[in-house]
Amino acid sequence: MDKNLMMPKRSRIDVKGSFANGPLQARPLVALLDGRDCSIEMPILKDVATVAFCDAQSTSEIHEKVLNEAVGALMWHTIILTKEDLEKFKALRIIVRIGSGTDNIDVKAAGELGIAVCNVPGYGVEEVADTTMCLILNLYRRTYWLANMVREGKKFTGPEQVREAAHGCARIRGDTLGLVGLGRIGSAVALRAKAFGFNVIFYDPYLPDGIDKSLGLTRVYTLQDLLFQSDCVSLHCTLNEHNHHLINEFTIKQMRPGAFLVNTARGGLVDDETLALALKQGRIRAAALDVHENEPYNGALKDAPNLICTPHAAFFSDASATELREMAATEIRRAIVGNIPEVLRNCVNKEYFMRTPPTAAAGGVAAAVYPEGALHHRAHSTTPHDGPHSTTNLGGSSSSALAPPPPAGANNSVAAAAAAVAAAAAAAAALLPSPVPPNAALPTVPHLSPQVGGLPLGIHLSAPDPNNHLSSSIKSEVKVESTETP
């Protein structure tokens, strides 16, 4: 039998880059993990990246192509990335949360893996503040319940029927609104609430002294004081391991009997079962929640009275939705064309990210495509699989590994030192390419073009053909948005 037939087939090398001796993927892959619409992101990213959408609810639904090659990820709040999930991504360098909260991402683990996590904190401040005031007004004036009574056909024939239906309505002026957290949204709510006649107090242990003076508010220094003094409590803090179920059986007992509760921040701040019981007992007069610990909402609060629930939509308006997605895509673009994390405006895990080794954390997304040292060493590589040559360190451990041991009795002698240096120099010279004869024709060696701002010059930046990046066998599972301008 022919020996050639018995030999295993050589694996096929699929070189997709512009250079046969360069990177395999010149254009990085960016994936929208838990959505389908990339129409706003595409005009911002199409000249520097290939954009795919996964429409997944967990990493088990994300195709292997994305797990292996995606260097950037965009995500909403409907998917969770734990440390185990993050470890599935082989090339990921940056995650941008399309929103402000990052409690669905293990930001510490991401940083330790060399993955920067960013959010978009500046979007939708006005929308969330307006929604908060809308919910507060509904609780005080019971507009939601009165409108439903009319819709259901209830007849109001006199003041007695109105008094019965509107029982629980309260006057706003002079009541105390307590804000837990005074960030961007909390401050916007405070300014709006003052216009309605609320006395506004707040609790935020992370703010410096004097903020209360600049906004004309009253500051309290313990959560217990805020709960005890407030007729209405509104939550505007992030969710972390320290404040999970901030509103629980103990803190509800510290609230004024008949107080209102509003949450447009994070669902995990409230213990649903305890709140449901407090509503049924009348200890809390009414509550309004735009966020829930488990979404879509379906839990203990389903049968609770005097409750308004909305579907995590406080952030939304046509203007804010466009602004949010543009800001998220722009952060991804900054990562691709610049250096991580210096160019990022809203990196939330920089403290963990900066602890990673320099080779893992430095550089932009382009550095994941063009590894460190590629610009200097890949031109000498003979196959696409060869790694860059190691740099010889004449004063380090590598030289001692290459140089022969000194002869016996030669310690501290000039001859021994000269021999060691000569041996190390000879070893270093062996790694360098052989000199080219003066009359010999120079071979054509593919090389990498220089970089400016993280992007290699000379790469064609027109919209790529998706067929060049994703094989037909996975197109049904990894969807690539068209890069044609609509």
- Residue 482 CB contacts under 8 Å (≥ 6 apart), including other chains: 42, 466
Q: What are the C-alpha distances in Å from 118 to residues 38, 267, 316? A: 19, 21, 20
Output the six-digit token pair for 317. Answer: 């308006």
Residue 310 burial (10 A CB sphere; 0-12, 13-18, 19+): middle
Q: How far is Cα 255 from Cα 225, in angstroms, rounded to an integer?
A: 9
User: Does the active-site annotation cover 249?
Assistant: no
- Tell me which of 77, 256, 312, 325 is the catalytic residue: 312
Active-site pick, 27, 266, 285, 378: 266
Q: Taking the mean position of all CA atoms in its chain, how far away is CA 178?
A: 30
User: Is the separation of the CB atoms in 340 and 93 below 8 Å?
Assistant: yes
Neighbours of 392 (CB within 10 A): 17
Compute the distance between CA of residue 32 and CA of residue 93 in angstroms, rounded to an integer.
14
DSSP 91-117: S--EEEESSS--TTB-HHHHHHTT-EE
Q: Give the chain's end-to-end CA distance (angstroms, integer).
A: 59
Q: Is 290 exposed, middle or buried (0-12, 13-18, 19+ CB in 10 A)?
A: buried
Of the residues 61, 295, 342, 351, only one is catalytic, namely 295
Q: Are strands 29-32 and 70-75 parallel, antiparallel or unpaired?
A: parallel
Residue 266 is among the residues annotated as catalytic for this protein: yes
The number of C-alpha atoms within 13 Å of 170 and in the hemisphere containing its C-beta is 20
CB 134 within 8 A of CB 104: no
| 312 is known as an active-site residue | yes
Residue 248, amino acid: N
DSSP 261-312: EEE-S-GGGB-HHHHHHHHHHTSEEEEEES--SSSS--SGGGG-SSEEE--S
Catalytically active residues are 266, 295, 312
